Amino acid sequence: MTTWCFRSIALDYCDDVEVSGARGYRYKAGASILDNGTLDPSTACFCGGRCSPVGVLNVSSCRFGSPAFVSYPHFYLGDQYYLQQVEGLSPDKDRHEFYVTLEPSAVKGYISVDGRIYSSPMASLVLTDSSLLTVNIQTSGIPLDVAARVQVNILLEDRPNVALYEGIPTLYMPVIWFEARGTVTADEVSSLAPLAALPTFVLACSLTILALGALLVAGVAMYCWFHPETSAHFLERRCRKRTATKPDQSLSPLVKDNKKPESIVLKVK
């Protein structure tokens, strides 16, 4: 999908939902995206040298070293450590969850569990539920409903040389959170119906053309088998035609027996 400071956003299959009369698969962003090694030790490399509790992602290296951290709004799915630092936070799933809903007819992929491959109709993104479960992309579906919600936070720390920051506790201060939301309407869903059926139509046309080609080759082969005299007569006519149209090289004084032209000596008086 997208990346936060060169880190992939992993979305996990959640549920089948209906959007404006169209059925879709919903994928949500879980706590693993903002993990710093607590839930999965392999994500500790994203700490940036300083691992914080689960719930924020250090993007300082992408912001010229500024103490910037991203999270879900109101530290949704984050550690209680963040909720105890700032008053007025009330994380809510309906208002703060990051999710994408895709039209399923264009979704294809497979699930790999412990190295074993299982076909699945619920794979459109590179998803990782754990280190053992991976769903890979083959094609992506049509987005029906998207809610991308992100919060930007600044790390405040004690700075003895700066009077404004002297003696303050270490905390992650929310600066702003924003939402990018988009949902298809009923009219747009009706216009997507032909597009959703396009893969099936293309497959049917391909199979039809392949079948017609096979029938044509089989028909020609059977005709040649049951009418060998006609085939031989046709080949003989082709050979005669080529022989008749072949130029007579004996008429050229410069060509003998298909060899290179002879040398010509010109005498000038």
pLDDT tens digits for the chain (269 residues)? 444 555 667 788 888 888 888 888 899 988 888 887 788 787 777 776 678 888 888 888 776 778 888 999 999 998 899 998 888 999 999 999 999 998 876 444 444 444 454 444 444 344 444 434 444 444 447 888 999 999 999 998 887 777 777 778 888 999 999 999 998 888 877 777 676 677 778 888 999 999 999 999 998 888 778 777 666 666 666 666 666 555 555 555 554 555 555 555 555 55
Specify the amino acid at residue 75: F
Q: 50, 51, 54, 98: which is closest to 80 by C-alpha?
A: 54
In a domain, 142, yes or no: yes
Q: Tell me: do 237 and 129 sit in the same domain.
A: no
- 19, 145 Cβ separation under 8 angstroms: yes
Domain encompassing residue 209? 194-246
CA distances from 73 to 60, 89, 95, 173, 182 (A): 19, 9, 8, 12, 18
In a domain, 159, yes or no: yes
- 4, 68 Cβ separation under 8 angstroms: no
Q: Tell me: do 211 and 124 sit in the same domain.
A: no
- Sort 138 into a burial class: Cβ within 10 Å, 0-12 / 13-18 / 19+: exposed
The domain tally of the chain equals 2
Both structure tokens of 128: 């990782």
Both structure tokens of 87: 């008053």
The three-point CA angle 50-56-57 to 5° equals 65
Q: Is the dihedral of CA 17, 18, 23, 26 positive or negative?
A: negative
Q: Domain end: 184, 205, 222, which one?
A: 184
Q: Tell me: do 27 and 135 sit in the same domain.
A: yes
- DSSP code, position 194: H
Q: Tell me: do 179 and 199 sit in the same domain.
A: no
Q: Tell me: do 123 and 165 sit in the same domain.
A: yes
Element at 18 (helix H, strand E): strand 11-19
- 76, 97 Cβ separation under 8 angstroms: yes
Q: Is the dihedral of CA 246, 250, 255, 256 positive or negative?
A: positive
Q: Tell me: do 139 and 18 sit in the same domain.
A: yes
